[in-house]
A and B are shown apart, each in its own frame.
Chain A
Amino acid sequence: MRLLVIEDDPLLRHSLTEGLREEDYAVDAAEDGPEGLAKASDAGYDAIILDGMLPGFDGWELLLRLRREKATPVLMLTARDAIPDRIRGLDAGADDYLTKPFDFDELLARLRALIRRSSGAGSNLIEIGEITVDTGGRTISRNHEVVSLTAREYRLVEYLAYHRGSVVSRTELYEHLFDENEDTLSNLLDVHVSNVRKKLGASFISTRRGHGYCIE
């Protein structure tokens, strides 16, 4: 899962990106409105954390512009907690609202909910045959026994599980698993996929040659 943090305060931006990376998200950051909009429009993010007060143009303006082209889930983050501000944010296209100061765990839970909802899932548990993906606890179990996966492997399964039934291209997978700073070779994906197959069964992830991967 790849997130974009648009926040002008350098300390808070740093804290958020570090915190989210430690939760195994791929995280990009932007420090003002124009940069945030450019990144949000270019890359496929699973969710955007957007501060209200931004240099350039503010978060509400950014949302209005972004919504013309993308429906990426947006969590607005702002110190202004007046109800008109929240209404303005939600009406501009925000999917959720969190006021500063917030609890980091709540932020994580809200992000999970946003990503879950945007993929049409209703619960944190995704059951695929004998495999269960718990997006809340970030664990994967096979026949009710937890299988140990690396963070990246887990995110790979999670992303494919959210897009169950459809073929996910290698580019899309790559885009959602690695942030802009990572310059890994794309065959790293194949390594992750083969590791997951070893742990969860060879038929769990099927390869569509020339198209990508898929969980049936």
Chain B
Amino acid sequence: MRRYFQSVRWSMMLWYGLILLVLIAGLCLLAFRLAANDKTDQIDREIRGFQGTFFRALFASKPVEKKNEKKSDMDEIRERLRNPGDVSAFPPELHALFSGEGGGCYLAFWDADGSPLFVSANAPEGLTPPVQATDGPPRYVEKKNFREHHRKGSDGISSIIGRDISAEQGDLVRFGLLLALGGGALWLLGLSGGWWLAGRALKPIDDIGLTATRIAAGNLDQRIEIANTDNELGRLGRVLNETFDRLSDAIERQKRFTGDASHELRTPVTIILSETQRALKREREPEQYREIIGTCRAAAERMRALVESLLILAKQDLPTVGAAHVPCDLAEITAGVADLLQPMADEHATKIERELSPALLQGDPHSLAMVVQNLLSNALVHPPAGGIVRVRTLLRSEGSLLEVSDSGPGIPAEHLPHLFDRFYRADSARGPANGHTGLGLAIARSVVESHGGKIEVESSPAGGTLFRVVFPAAS
């Protein structure tokens, strides 16, 4: 049960039901109140009208005698009340007053001393003169199923004119019941409508939740089905779908990267394992042991290079970690690296042409040197021996520029978009044999991007590959 009240739908329904209940109950009460007041007013008017009819009949039944000076009007009234005269002279609607039949109005008059002047035969038993201050305003009093008009005049005559209102009361009770039933039905209708609406409004959220659950369970291809609406939920769904896309891409990339890394590490591990197993199988000559250990060492070196590259990449991936950026000159860094790689160039009979003009930027000289070294050694190793590698640094309006180009056969167009991907090798024949881990360009891009720059490659089948790196100029 608690679970139900924690659901949005249920809590929405709870509040909605409460508000709807208060509204409907208020409206019903108001209607009831108005109807009751209307009824009461009507009864009161009737009572007052009855009183008038009675007095008119009273005075009509016996013509007024010549005015007796001694007798005041009130005494005349008293007299007439005590002795109303011939019943038949009264209009038929007043006959009940004398016959004692039920229904209709009744009335009673008392003198100042409390003695009854006239009590109609149909008056309820035990009717007593009204208790109230003399000259007070007339009052309407309701007791049980009677409504009475109480009056105590300054002349001492007090009166009660009343009426049995049980029929009206019955009507009101029936009306009240009808209102309650109608209101209840309306409330239930409103509730079910609200339930349906809430369900309809929350359905997309449920879908989103369900999809997210499936994604969390590892089903990364799941997406939220969005109806063609541009409402809040449609937009939320789209935003979430885009987020899921990016997340699954990232996870996929990470997976591939981890897979590639373990794949790359497996071969050297295999070499070390199989060589050591071989070595341990039997006693050998020192020369053989040396050879086996040499092979193991070469495999271990390869693993070290790979692990180092992975570490560099991992460091570059962290947003804030890394050496502090200091002002440095790309030309100086490039010259240093070119000097370092000169023996490699000689080995490949490749000439390094330098066009180094100062190109200042803010950066980490060590990482930048790594970029230059990766680009330059790629240009030296991959193209056939005997070519020319040109390195250029210069300052342009868009920033500091580094270009490394070779005169090799070029890279086929289908490889270009993937060239900076981790572990991507344009030609698998190059393999790990020449000490390349397949991470050099990925590291270069990572470093360049962490410096706010960008790296591009241009290559044509006609020959020549150009790597261009642009760093934002030092401010």
Contacts and interface: CB of A to CB of B under 8 A. Distances in A.
A23 B316 CA distance: 47
B343 interface: no
Contacts of A54: 428
Contact of B295 (A15, A53, A56, A101): A15
Interface stretch (B142-150, B275-283, B325-333, B450-458): B275-283
Interface SS of A by simple majority:
loop
Given A19-B278, A80-B263, A104-B278, A12 B433 contact: no
A9 B277 contact: no
A172 interface: no
A9 B433 contact: yes
Interface stretch (B94-102, B155-163, B178-186, B264-272): B264-272
Interface string B224-265: 000000000000000000000000000000000001001110
B278 A11 contact: no
A67 interface: no
Interface in A1-33: 8-12, 14-16, 18-19, 22, 32
A158 B428 CA distance: 39
Contacts of B274: 12, 15-16, 19, 101-102, 104
Contact of A11 (B263, B298, B428): B298
B271 A105 contact: no
B266 A101 contact: yes
Given A11-B298, A80-B263, A55 B428 contact: yes
B273 A101 contact: yes
A11 B429 contact: no
Contacts of B86: none
Interface in B287-331: 295, 298-299
B273 A11 contact: no
B432 interface: yes
B432 A22 contact: no
A80 B298 CA distance: 22
Contact of A56 (B270, B298, B429, B432): B429
B434 to A, nearest CB: 11
Nearest to B302: A11
Contact of A14 (B263, B269, B295): B295
Contacts of B269: 100-101
Nearest to B428: A55
Contacts of A103: 273, 277
B273 A32 contact: no
Contacts of A82: 259
A79 B266 contact: yes
B414 interface: no
B275 A55 contact: no
A79 B306 CA distance: 16
Contacts of B432: 9
Contacts of A105: 277
A9 B263 CA distance: 13
Interface string A97-110: 00111111100000
A14 B270 CA distance: 12
Contacts of B433: 8-10
Contact of A22 (B264, B268, B273, B278): B278
Contacts of B278: 15, 18-19, 22, 104
B435 interface: no
Contacts of A100: 266-267, 269-270
Interface in A111-162: none
B427 interface: yes
Contact of A55 (B264, B299, B429): B429
Given A22-B281, A101-B273, A55 B431 contact: yes
A104 B273 CA distance: 8
Contacts of B259: 82
A22 to B, nearest CB: 7
A79 B277 contact: no
The 6 A-B residue pairs with the shortest CB-CB distance, nearest first, are A55-B429, A79-B266, A101-B270, A100-B270, A100-B266, A104-B277
Interface of A: 8-12, 14-16, 18-19, 22, 32, 53-56, 58, 79-80, 82, 99-105
10 contacts: A9-B267, A9-B433, A18-B278, A22-B281, A54-B428, A55-B431, A79-B262, A99-B266, A100-B269, A103-B273
